[in-house]
């Protein structure tokens, strides 16, 4: 088996190391792998003070990531989000509260933005099966309820799908 050579790289404006440390504190099986730093000889279009992280390599729940302090002008966007599959409502609550703390925000339909502006989808296991149900009525009732939610409540969506 070969190891995966694809690692998402998140662009930051001076907050790469803080963000990586924040994410590592939330997810199990996570760690900082390495940090390269700007120094007096670093010559890039954007330069941060010596000692500031340039690239942080880290692992979240076994998935490799990179965080780059690339400078201003490249904000995070909902066009790229990180999806967290949660076993149950307790896990949904855990990740929801951790990722919205200290300036993060609830968005809609299971999405949050953390304090660094990165978008996350907090998804209960079973959601995809429910919104892919072969019965169009069940599927649409679940979707209509989902559209009213910020944090997803799979039990309420299932009840709506069943007409309750």
> What's the pLDDT tens digit per position in 48-97?
999 999 999 999 999 999 999 999 989 999 999 999 999 999 999 999 99
Q: How far is residue 54 from each of residues 24, 32, 37, 38, 116, measured CA to CA in Å?
A: 18, 14, 5, 6, 16
Q: Which domains does the chain have, with CATH numbers?
A: 9-69 (3.30.720.100), 81-161 (3.10.180.10)
Give kind and range of the element (H or E) at residue 145.
Answer: helix 136-146
Kindly report, residue by residue over 17-58, the tens digit of the pLDDT: 999 999 999 999 999 999 999 998 888 888 799 999 999 999
Kindly report, residue by residue over 103-159, the tens digit of the pLDDT: 999 999 999 999 999 999 999 999 999 999 999 999 999 999 999 999 999 999 999
pTM: 0.92
């Amino acid at each position: 088996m070969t190891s995966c050579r694809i690692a998402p790289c998140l662009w930051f404006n001076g907050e790469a190391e803080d963000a990586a440390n924040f994410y590592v504190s939330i997810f199990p099986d996570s760690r900082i792998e390495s940090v390269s730093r700007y120094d007096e000889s670093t010559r890039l279009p954007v330069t941060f003070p010596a000692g500031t992280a340039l690239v942080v390599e880290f692992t979240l729940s076994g998935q490799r990531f990179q965080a780059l302090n690339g400078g201003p002008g490249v904000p995070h966007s909902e066009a790229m989000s990180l999806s967290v599959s949660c076993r149950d409502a307790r896990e949904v609550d855990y990740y929801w509260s951790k990722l919205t703390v200290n300036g993060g925000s609830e968005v809609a339909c299971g999405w949050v933005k953390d304090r660094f502006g990165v978008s996350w989808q907090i998804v209960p296991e079973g959601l995809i099966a429910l919104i892919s149900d072969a019965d169009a009525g069940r599927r649409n009732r679940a979707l209509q309820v989902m559209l009213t939610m910020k944090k997803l409540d799979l039990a309420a969506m299932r009840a709506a799908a069943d007409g309750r």
